[in-house]
Structure 1
Amino acid sequence: MEQTKQRLLLVDGMALMFRAFYASAATGYIRRTKEGLPTNAVYGFMRYFWDVVQKFGPTHIACCWDLGSKTFRTEQFSAYKGNRSDAPDELIPQFSVIREVMDSLGIPNVSSPGFEADDCIGSLSVKFSEDMEVFVLTGDHDMLQLVTDRTSVIIMKKGHGNYMVYTPESLMEEKQLKPAQIIDMKGLMGDPSDNYPGVRGIGEKTAMKLVQEYGSVDGILSNLDGLSKSVRTKIENDLDMLHLSRQLAEIRCDVELECTVEACCFELNPALVVSKFEELEMASVSSWMGLAVAR
């Protein structure tokens, strides 16, 4: 009998939670339990998550989380992500609830002090991709730097069940970029959502053109004489910030994480899952997961 292909799904928990919360909060209605606990993001998270599980059929799953706002990046650049407002009050209690839900599904919640969820995902993808196919589920295009022959990145697009799956081939086809060049692009253009500036005056189009033409930031810096006076001046004026922005953009893939292949093996305990969703007054979730347990 043919053995099932081993396939690991790494979930960007933060990206899914924020997307699920805002998608449902936009209607003005926040789902709550009888005791008043908001659960709209948890419910939305499960819809996105289960759709992907059915589509991609992972044999192993891990869910990665940020731990707090202080990371090695804020030590390098104190304004990193400094423009972000606090999470909405209704969302905050749901972060611990969704982690409990993952526990009930037998899925490890992975995080590491001083690092972001991205770094945990990058490290696990490198650690496990030798032995199995890896899929990363996120809405964050920075993750495209993790794409390899063994690691695909699933970017959630607008609308439920709508994804773009990036492989080295589809990334090259769509953006004419190699995965590592995503880091060089970010170094040049910066990232307003993470609040680091890159080179002032260089936007996405110019950054892409330069990286495509010269291959990397190092390639660009070796050919400054070939650039237009205006672009060259901008780069020379912001050289330190260019190097720092490139460092901030790079996902760390060497974080020591206590997460084994065995721990990620995806096997549901139906009674446990049903009980958790009953507690959250979401019996419909177990039902569309096909987990209705006979009374």
Structure 2
Amino acid sequence: MSPITVVEGRRLSLTNLDKVLYPETGTTKGEVLHYCTTTADALLPHLHDRPVSFLRYPDGPGGQRFFTKNVPPGAPSWVKSCEVPHSRSGPARQVVLQDLPSLVWAANLVVELHAPQWTCDAPGTADRLVFDLDPGEPATVVECCTAARWLRDRLAADGLDAYAKTSGSKGMHLLVPVEPTPADRTTAYARTLAVEAGAALGELVTHKMDRALRPGRVFIDFSQNAAAKTTAVAYTLRARPLPTVSTPVTWDEVADCTAPDQLTFLFGEIAARRERYGDLHAPLLDPDRARPLPHGERRRRSA
């Protein structure tokens, strides 16, 4: 029988806790659930009121992986959900992880957590902007740091603050709190900056999705600002060979990065980082930090 645990008054059946999900480190499913539980106070605020999509990998990163947006069959009735518009297939319902029992239930499914840049009460109206910096080999996160610093300064010229995190894979994410803005406008603005970065940084970056252009360059993916797109959330474990986490980082760490392992964080390192820094992405949760996007006719300020 599967062990039954009670989390904040909710009964949960937890399965296969001794199963090794990450063979390279011997990390078990039980350890993954423990990580999610002990990180919940940082993780849950970044999920609050946002419909989540799951990348499920029940047999570990080397097994079958599948992406799902709909509420999984068998979800407890107390797990909240919200209706999300889908342009082609009509509206659908997606999970909203609002509390610890719901997070533990999701973690028991073995999932990466992805969310859009908007909340359930305002579908398609973004409250943050995102840049996904994806390095094409032989480029690494080191080159992403150069692009990230350029974008941070460019955003600052428009009065916007950027917060960095590792993707938990090869690259980086930059997130920017913004006043509620239609997703098509945040996408257009992000594209403008990605094009500008390409002009300023030359062969280092590309904003084009053509994979033939990516080797040795950082692809600045602005498309995750689209209403239908999602991004891995801060503190989620990733389905990678090692149990890496999408980890908020300081701008000093970005500036000082000279090797990929300096910005690679395993799940066992997160507690100490939070003890040292708190939640580096907490400003994204503060409505007073949000700023308006510049109007289309505004130009970059003179240096």
TM-score bucket of the superposed structures, by smaller chain: under 0.3
Hey, which of these two has a bigger chunk of helix by percent?
1
State the structure with more CA Rg. Answer: 1
**TM-score, normalised with respect to structure 1:** 0.27
Hey, which of these two has a bigger chunk of strand by percent?
2
Tell me which of the two structures has the higher relative contact order, counting C-alpha pairs closer than 8 angstroms and 6 or more residues apart: 1
